[in-house]
Amino acid sequence: MKNICFCFQMHVPYRLKRYRFFEIGHDHYYYDDMATEEHVNWLVQTSYLPLCQTIKDMINLSKGKFHCALSVSGTMIEMFEQFNPEMIDILKELAASKCVEFLATPYSYSLASEYNESEMKKQFKKQEELLESIFGVKAQTVWNTELLYSDETAYNLYKLGYKTILTEGAKHILSWNSPNCVYQSAGAPKMKVLLRNSNLSDELSFHFSDPGWGNFPIDAEKYANQLKSFPEGDEIINIWVGADTFGVRQNAGSGIFEFLKALPYYVLEREMGFMTPAEAAKKLSANNTVSAPYALTWSGEAKDLSVYVGNDLQQEAINKLFAVAERVHLCQDKSLKTNWLRLQDVNYLHYMNHIDQGETPYESAYDAFINYMNVLSDFLQTVEEQYPTTIENEELNELLKTIRNQEEEIQKLQEKLKSNKSEGRKAKS
Amino acid sequence: MKALMFGWEFPPHILGGLGTASYGLTRGMAQQNDMEITFVIPKPWGDEDQSFLRIIGANSIPVVWKENNYDYVKQRLEGRMSPEDYFHFRNGIRYDYRRIGTDDLGCINFSGRYPDNLIEEIGNYEAVASVLAHSLDFDIIHSHDWLTYPAGVFAKHISGKPLVIHVHATDFDRSRGNVNPTVYAIERRGMDEADHIICVSNLTRNTVIEKYGQDPRKVSTVHNAVEPLAHPEEFKKPERKDKLVTFLGRITMQKGPEYFVEAAARVLSKTDGVRFVMAGSGDKMAEMIDLVAKRGIADKFHFPGFMRGKQVQEMLAMSDVYIMPSVSEPFGISPLEAMQVGCPSIISHQSGCAEILQHAIKTDYWDIDAMADAIYAIVKYPAMYKSLHELGQAEVNNIKWSDAGLKVRRIYDGVINHTL
C-alpha cells in the first residue's frame, strides 16, 4: 500500500534593525521588533493560520485518517507566543488530535550540526523541551535546518536518541533509486532516513498556479492519480514543503487550500493512506542504505550548503560566529545567550548570497553582510568583554568551575552557620 | 552601413567622459565588418587613433569659398587632410557663411574645448555640418551630446538621412536642476528632431522622457562599457599600513564631494588606520578644504590635485575603496575603471552605472551613514574587500563596448527600416 507523508515547515528569522558601525559598542539591541511582528502577523494571517485550519478540517473530514507532520522552530514558537497566541492554540489542538507529528528542529534554525556539535545538541534539546512544555509532545524525527544531512550528522543525531531523519531526495545520493522508500543511514545503520520527493513537492510550491507548467491545472484528483501511478515498491511518498507554500507562494485565490482539503478524499478513495514520518519509520522497513559523505540540503540547484555558505561573505560571517561558540557555552548571561541563538539563523546567511537571496529585506548581498557583520562585531565584543580571549578556554573553564564550586561551598557553610546558630539559640533558651 | 558621427572630444585629448565614451563606442562598433564610421570633431590634434574610423577635423573643412592653388593648400593643411579632400569638400559649400570669421582657407578656427563663446562655436559647427552633408555619402547621422545636436539636425535636413542622437548627459545633471534655458532649447530641439534617442542609462532616459517630453518609444538605453586594460597586471596594490579611500573627479556640485567629506568624518570618529583622498580639481575645492579643516580631519584627508592618464589608474590601484557620491551622474565610467584595477567601488543610486553593476556598493548620495558604513565594512571585513575586488573585476571585464555597439547597430537598422 502506498502512503503519503506530508510535512509543513514554519520558521521566520528575527528582523535585524539597521545597525551602523558607529553603534558597535554602544547599542546592544539588534532587532527591529516592529518589522518582525508585522511580517509574522502577515504570514500567520495569509498562510499559517488558514493552513492549520485546513489541516484540522482534513483530519475531521477523513475521520482521523489524514496524518501529517509539522516542523516549527523554537524561534517561531517564541514569536507565536508573543505576537499570535491563536497559533499556539490551534497547534495545541493539532497536537491533541494525535494525527500531527511535531518534528525536532534546531531551535533557531541554525547550521550548528555542520559547525559545532555541542551547539547542535543544545539547539535540539532546547526545541524539544519547548515542544514538550507547550504541546506535550515528544519529538522523535529530525527535520534539520533546510533538511541539512550528512552521514556524520546522522550519526551525531542518532547519539542524541533520534531514530529517524528527513532529508532531500537529491539525485546525487539516490542515483537511480527511488526516493519513495525508507532508507537506512550509512552513518548510523539504525537511523532511518526518509527522502523528500522533490518533483511532487515542488509541483505544489512552485508550479501550482503556473499556467506554463505541463500539468496545469493541478487538481486533487489528478494529483492523487499521479501518486497512485508510482510503481508498486514505492511505499512512502514524501511531500514536504515550506508552510508558506499555502497562501504566500501560491495565494489563496489559486485554490491551493481547497486543493489540500479535497486531497484526503481522493487519496483514500484510491486505497492509499497517510503517515507521519515516525509512523513510516515504525511500520515500514528499510531495505537500502543511503550515503552522503558531504552535506546535503533541499536548497539550490546543487542541493548542498552552497546557497548558505558558498561565497566569501557567508564564509566570513559563519566562521566568525562559530569561532566564539565555546566561549558562549561557558557564559550564563541571558541576553548574550538569546543573541547567540538568534544570530545563528540560516536566513541571515541566505541574504548574503549574490544570486538567490531568498526573501531578503536587503538591497543586496553586500548590504545584508554589512548589517550582519556590524551586529556580529558588537556581539563578539560583548563576548570578549565577558571572557577576554587572553584567557584560554580550558583555563577559563577551570576558573569558572572554581568560582561555582566556591559559591556552592559558601552556600553550604552559610547553611551550616545558620543551623549552628539556631542550635546555639535553642541551647541558650 | 555608413555612419556620419558628430562628436566634440576624442582621445587622447579629452576633457571629460564624452571623449572616452565616443572612443569606446566607435571602437566597439567598428568590430562589425560592414560598419564605416566618419567621426567629426571640432579640432583634432593629429595623434588620434584612426585605425578603425576616419576622423575629420571641422577646422579643416572650408565653409567659405577661397581661391587657393594645390601647393598652397597642401602646405597650409600640414597633413591634417589631403588637398584632394579639401577641394572635394569645397565643392560642398552651398550657403554663404562669410559672416563667420574664417582663415585664408575658408576654415573656422575651432577651440575644441568648452570656451565662453560655446554657443557661437556650436553654430559654426552647424555650418561645417552643412558642407559635410552636401559632400559625403552616409546612411545615418549620429550626434554625441547637445553640442553637436544642431549640426546633426542640419545634416538631417539637408540629406534627408535619419538622425540618432546620443544623450551622454542633460543639463539637468550638470546644473542640479538649475537649467540654462538656451542649453535646454538646443537639447530640446535636437531631441524633437531626432528619429531616435539613445541614452546612457535608464536614469537619463527618464529625464529625457519626463523633462524633455519625448515619446518613450523613441528613447532607448544603451549603457556605456569600458575599454579593457592593455596590461592589467602592471597595476599592483602596494603594501601599506593605512587603508586608502579615494574620490577622483571634478570637485563640483554634481559630484557630491561634501558627502564624501562627511562620510569620512563619520568613519574617522570610530576608526584609525584609514586615509581619505580627494583627487581632482574644481570650483568646490576650496570649500572642501575648509570643510575638512572644520571637521578636524585634515591630518587624514588629502588633496593631491588633478591627475591624468596613467596616474589615475595607479591611484585607483593603490586604493582600498573608490567612492563616487554623485548627485546626478548620467552614467559615470570611473567606478568601472576602478573595478578594472580591482578597487571596490561605492556609488550613488543617482548614477547611471548603478543600473548595470551588481558587485559595487550602492547608497543614496545623501545617505552619509550608509556610505560611511560601506567604507567601514570594506576596510574592516576582509571578505567584503575580497568579494568586491574579485567579483567586481570579473563583472566589469564582461561589460564590453562591442555589445553596446551591437545595440546601437540594431537601433540604426530599426530607424532605417522604420521597424523601431
Residue A27 pLDDT: 95
What cell does B391 get?
567579483
Please tell me if residue B387 touches chain A, with a CB cutoff of 8 Å: yes
Residue B26 pLDDT: 96
Q: Which of A201-210, A252-261, A325-334, B190-199 has the lowest mean pLDDT?
A: A325-334
At A249, which CATH number?
A: 3.20.110.20
Residue B162 pLDDT: 97
Cβ distance B170 to B329 under 8 Å?
no
Three-class SS of chain A: CCEEEEEEEECCCCCECCCCHHHCCCCCCCECHHHHHHHHHHHHHHHHHHHHHHHHHHHHHCCCCCCEEEEECHHHHHHHHHHCHHHHHHHHHHHHCCCEEECECCCCCECHHHHCHHHHHHHHHHHHHHHHHHHCCCCCEECCHHHCECHHHHHHHHHCCCCEEEEECCHHHHCCCCCCCCEEECCCCCCEEEEECHHHHHHHHCCCCCCCCCCCCCCHHHHHHHHHCCCCCCCEEEEEEEHHHECCCECHHHCHHHHHHHHHHHHHHCCCEECCHHHHHHHCCCCEEECCCCCECCCCCCCCCHHHHCCHHHHHHHHHHHCCHHHHHHCCCHHHHHHHHHHCEHHHHHCCCCCCCCCCCCCCHHHHHHHHHHHHHHHHHHHHHHCCCCCCHHHHHHHHHHHHHHHHHHHHHHHHHHHHHHHHHHHHC
Q: State pLDDT tens for residues B161-186.
A: 999 999 999 999 888 778 999 999 99
Residue A225 pLDDT: 94
* A242: Cα within 13 Å, side-chain hemisphere: 19
Q: Is residue A303 a part of any domain in this protein? A: no
Q: Which residue of B has its CA nearest to A22?
A: B270
Residue B350 pLDDT: 94
Q: Is residue A10 a part of any domain in this protein? A: yes
Q: Which of A269-283, B159-173, B219-233 has the lowest mean pLDDT?
A: B219-233
Q: Is the pLDDT of residue A420 over 80?
A: yes
Rounded to an integer, what distance in angstroms lies between the CA atom of residue B319 and that of residue B315? 6
Phi, psi of A273 (to 5 degrees): -125, 175
List A278's β-bridge partners, or say none. none
Q: Which residue of B has its CA nearest to A370?
A: B377
Residue B17 pLDDT: 80
Q: Is the pLDDT of residue A393 over 80?
A: no
Q: Label residue A425 by pLDDT band (50, 70, 90).
A: confident
Q: Label residue B32 by pLDDT band (50, 70, 90).
A: very high
More confident residue, A422 or B157: B157
Q: Is residue A352 a part of any domain in this protein? A: no
What secondary structure letter does DSSP report for B227?
A: P
Choose, out of A17, A22, A320, A374, the residue to mutate when testing the contact with B (most B CBs < 10 Å).
Answer: A22
Average of per-residue pLDDT values in chain B: 94
What cell does B338 get?
576602478
Residue B79 pLDDT: 84
C-alpha dihedral (A93, A95, A96, A99), degrees to nearest 10: 110
Q: Label residue A115 by pLDDT band (50, 70, 90).
A: very high
B47: three-class secondary structure by DSSP: coil
Of the candidates A166, A178, A284, the residue with the CA atom closest to the CA atom of residue A230: A178
Cβ distance B158 to B130 under 8 Å?
yes
Residue A408 pLDDT: 86
Rounded to an integer, what distance in angstroms lies between the CA atom of residue A203 and that of residue B170? 50
Cβ distance B324 to B337 under 8 Å?
no
User: How far, rounded to the nearest angstrom, does the alpha carbon of residue A168 sit from its chain's CA centroid?
Assistant: 14
Rounded to an integer, what distance in angstroms lies between the CA atom of residue A354 and that of residue B234? 30
Average of per-residue pLDDT values in chain A: 94
Cβ distance A4 to A274 under 8 Å?
yes
Neighbours of A12 (CB within 10 A): 21
Largest Cα separation within chain A, whole Å, is 95
Query: What is the average pLDDT across A54-79?
Result: 96
Residues of chain A neighbouring B382 (CB-CB closer than 8 A): 316
Q: Label residue B106 by pLDDT band (50, 70, 90).
A: very high
Residue B220 pLDDT: 97
Sheet holding A183-185: strands in order across? A141-142, A164-168, A192-196, A183-185, A288-290
B146: three-class secondary structure by DSSP: helix
Query: What is the average pLDDT across A127-136?
Result: 97
Please tell me if residue A411 touches chain B, with a CB cutoff of 8 Å: no
- CB-defined contacts A:B, below 8 A: 57
Rounded to an integer, what distance in angstroms lies between the CA atom of residue A258 and that of residue A208? 12
Note whether B373 contacts A363, CB cutoff 8 Å: no
Q: Is residue A42 a part of any domain in this protein? A: yes
Domains of chain B and CATH, by start: 2-225+402-416 (3.40.50.2000), 232-397 (3.40.50.2000)
Q: Which of A336-350, A409-423, B40-54 has the lowest mean pLDDT?
A: A409-423
Cβ distance B355 to B297 under 8 Å?
no
Report which residue type is found at B140: I
Q: Is residue A224 a part of any domain in this protein? A: yes
Q: Is the pLDDT of residue A387 over 90?
A: no
Q: Is the pLDDT of residue A126 over 90?
A: yes
Neighbours of A218 (CB within 10 A): 20
Q: Where are the alpha helices (DSSP H) in B381-400?
A: 382-397
Rounded to an integer, what distance in angstroms lies between the CA atom of residue A184 and that of residue A155? 11
Residue A12 pLDDT: 96
Three-class SS of B174-198: HCCCCCCHHHHHHHHHHHHHCCEEE
Rounded to an integer, what distance in angstroms lies between the CA atom of residue B4 and that of residue B6? 7
Q: State pLDDT tens for residues A82-96.
A: 999 999 999 999 999
Rounded to an integer, what distance in angstroms lies between the CA atom of residue A224 and that of residue A216? 14
Task: Name the minimum distance, in Å, from the CA of B364 to any CA of chain A.
Answer: 12
Note whether B373 contacts A373, CB cutoff 8 Å: no
**Which domain range does residue A176 map to?**
3-290
Q: Label residue B16 by pLDDT band (50, 70, 90).
A: confident
Neighbours of A312 (CB within 10 A): 20
List B274's β-bridge partners, or say none. B243
Which percentage of chain B shows pLDDT scores above 70? 100
Residues in Cβ contact with A290 at an 8 Å cutoff, skipping those fewer than 6 apart: A173, A174, A177, A183, A184, A185, A186, A193, A195
Rounded to an integer, what distance in angstroms lies between the CA atom of residue A81 and that of residue A69? 20
Task: Name the minimum distance, in Å, from the CA of A25 to any CA of chain B.
Answer: 11
Q: Are strands B196-199 and B361-363 parallel, antiparallel or unpaired?
A: unpaired
Query: What is the average pLDDT across A398-412?
Result: 85
What cell does A82 get?
508573543
Rounded to an integer, what distance in angstroms lies between the CA atom of residue B170 and that of residue A51? 54
Only one residue has cell 559672416, namely B99
Sheet holding B163-167: strands in order across? B54-57, B36-41, B2-6, B140-144, B163-167, B196-199, B219-221
Q: Label residue A404 by pLDDT band (50, 70, 90).
A: confident
Only one residue has cell 550528522, namely A153
Residues of chain A neighbouring B361 (CB-CB closer than 8 A): 364, 366-367
Q: Is residue A384 a part of any domain in this protein? A: no
Q: Which residue of A has its CA nearest to B361?
A: A366
Cβ distance B241 to B300 under 8 Å?
no
Only one residue has cell 548558505, namely A308
Rounded to an integer, what distance in angstroms lies between the CA atom of residue A192 and that of residue A186? 10
Note whether B383 contacts A317, CB cutoff 8 Å: yes
Neighbours of A23 (CB within 10 A): 19
Among candidates A24, A354, A369 on the partner chain, residue whose Cβ is nearest the Cβ of B384:
A369
Query: What is the average pLDDT across B36-47?
Result: 94
Please tell me if residue A317 touches chain B, with a CB cutoff of 8 Å: yes
Q: Is the pLDDT of residue A429 over 80?
A: no
What cell does A275 get?
503517515
Q: Label residue B329 by pLDDT band (50, 70, 90).
A: very high
Q: Is the pLDDT of residue B114 over 90?
A: no
Q: Is the pLDDT of residue A427 over 80?
A: no
Q: Based on C-alpha coordinates, what's the Rg of chain B?
A: 23
Residues in Cβ contact with A96 at an 8 Å cutoff, skipping those fewer than 6 apart: none
Q: Is the pLDDT of residue B410 over 80?
A: yes
Residue B177 pLDDT: 76
* B34: Cα within 13 Å, side-chain hemisphere: 7
How many domains is chain A partitioned into structurally? 1
Task: Name the minimum distance, in Å, from the CA of A114 to any CA of chain B.
Answer: 21
Packing angle, helices A334-343 and A74-83, rounded to 10: 110
Task: Name the minimum distance, in Å, from the CA of B270 to any CA of chain A.
Answer: 6
Which percentage of chain A shows pLDDT scores above 70? 100
Cβ distance A123 to A73 under 8 Å?
no
Q: Is residue A333 a part of any domain in this protein? A: no
Choose, out of B367, B379, B386, B387, the residue to mutate when testing the contact with A (most A CBs < 10 Å).
Answer: B387
Rounded to an integer, what distance in angstroms lies between the CA atom of residue B243 and that of residue B273? 6
User: What does the angle CA A10 – CA A11 – CA A15 come to, to the nearest 5 degrees?
Assistant: 150
Q: State pLDDT tens for residues B121-144.
A: 999 999 999 999 999 999 999 999
Q: Is residue A387 a part of any domain in this protein? A: no
